[in-house]
Amino acid sequence: MSSSPWPLLPSLGVLAAMAVVIVIAGVRLTRVADTLAERTGLGDAIGGALLLGAVTSLPGNVTVLTGALEGDAGFALANPIGGIALQTVWLAIADLLYRRVNLEHAAASLQNVLQSVLLIAMLAIPVVAYATPDLRLGWIHPMTLLIPALYAYGLTLLRRMQHEPMWQPVHTDQTADDDGNGEDAADDGNGNGKGDADSPGDGADGGDHRSTARLWGLLAVMGLVTGVAGWLVGRAGLSVIARAGLDSGVVGFTLTTAISSLPELVVLLTAVRMGQLTLGVGNIVGGNVYDILMISVADIGYLDGPIYRDAGPTSLVLLGGTLVMTAVLAAGLLMRDRKWIGFEGVSIPLIYVGTVVLALVA
């Protein structure tokens, strides 16, 4: 099903143009999803996972499916893995901008910790599939079916945790609650932070008077825009690979992922600026968990057999590096270092760079 590649310069122009489109749509998505998370009662952590995580992942998802249908296993598999890795790096960038305290400390959320653990478990499934490349159910690997099943079970656990939490993070004067009151919170002596009543993050809808139906419509429109942009990124990325002779796995892990993951960066930085810290971190962690589903989509869309068999060793290196990055993030969410830049803020970018170098060597 491979299509003729586009010329190199027009392909690069399309990538640049889609980066702008994705950034603009990402800004709108932040405010709409934030309001819907409050009105639906999901809260910022789960709202970030379901609403922002799903919609902002659309460009990358469509890029993955484009690569799979075009028959490039390495490109299709490297994009979701690269999305998880790079979006985790976005947290380190946001940490640099949020100077009051370590971002993982301020955005204390047990749901985000659980999603990180869930992500590690889901990332382990493709590793097992890599070790058993000849197993198949039709043209896909049986392990692929476990990914959405584990995702659905994880959502059940998240919902249960929200209603019946058995653990609670220690609240400090720099802990953000679900209304985004981090820097203005004060401890009441019982471990419960109290936000400033005049904070702009307060209120059920953050001051947005548009109807809920209209907000859902805007969310759908922005999702469609980013989805079309993702298809163009996928086609242009495959054309760059063909014309420049680059490794498809490395290009998928870096170049096209950097563009398709821009909504997550924009949403994160905008959420931090708005004081919605838990929403911002939940968007990244929830988006990462959602991206794992795209590995299943890639395997289903790749019709030549199990995608793990043909993706090559580069994708396995990228997968291993992403697992390490996710484990470091989970440790950072648990440790909640009070320093401006914690150990995870330094380690995650270094692991990302090291993973890319190892992939190039492989």
What span, in angstroms and rounded, lies between the C-alpha atoms of 126 and 254? 20
What span, in angstroms and rounded, lies between the C-alpha atoms of 111 and 306? 33
Geometric angle at alpha carbon 326, from 23 and 121, rounded to 5°: 115
- Which two three-digit tokens encode residue 143? 């392990």
Digitized pLDDT (tens) for each residue of the chain, 362 residues in all: 567 899 999 999 999 999 999 888 877 776 787 788 778 776 655 655 566 666 777 888 899 999 999 999 999 999 999 999 998 898 887 777 766 655 655 666 778 888 889 999 999 999 999 999 889 999 999 999 999 999 899 888 988 887 887 677 666 655 555 444 444 433 443 333 333 333 334 444 556 678 888 888 888 888 888 889 999 999 999 999 999 998 999 999 999 999 988 877 877 887 777 777 777 777 788 778 888 889 999 999 999 999 999 998 899 999 999 999 999 988 888 876 666 577 877 899 999 999 999 998 87
Dihedral angle computed from the Cα positions of residues 91, 93, 99 and 100, in that order, rounded to the nearest 10 degrees: 0
In three-state form (DSSP H/G/I as H, E/B as E, the rest C), the secondary structure along the chain is CCCCCCCHHHHHHHHHHHHHHHHHHHHHHHHHHHHHHHHCCCHHHHHHHHHHHHHHCHHHHHHHHHHHHCCCHHHHHHHHHHHHHHHHHHHHHHHHHCCCCCHHHHCCCHHHHHHHHHHHHHHHHHHHHHHCCCCCECCECHHHHHHHHHHHHHHHHHHHHHHCCCCCCCCCCCCCCCCCCCCCCEECCCCCEECCCCCCCCCCCCCCCCCHHHHHHHHHHHHHHHHHHHHHHHHHHHHHHHHHCCCHHHHHHCHHHHHHCHHHHHHHHHHHHHCCHHHHHHHHHHHHHHHHHHHHHHHHHCCCCCHHHHCCHHHHHHHHHHHHHHHHHHHHHHHCCCCCCCHHHHHHHHHHHHHHHHHHHC
Rg of the chain, C-alpha, whole Å: 20
Q: pLDDT value at position 95?
A: 76
Q: pLDDT value at position 200?
A: 35
Q: Helix crossing, 73-97 with 313-335: angle to 10°? A: 30
CA atoms in the 13 A half-sphere facing the CB of 21 = 21
Burial of residue 180 (CB within 10 Å: 0-12, 13-18, 19+) is: buried
Neighbouring CB atoms inside 10 A of 269's CB total 19
Q: pLDDT value at position 301?
A: 94
Q: How far is CA 283 from CA 29, 55, 122, 144, 350, in A?
A: 11, 10, 18, 24, 22
Residue from 316, 267, 280 nearest 295 by CA: 316
The residue behind tokens 């590649």 is: 5
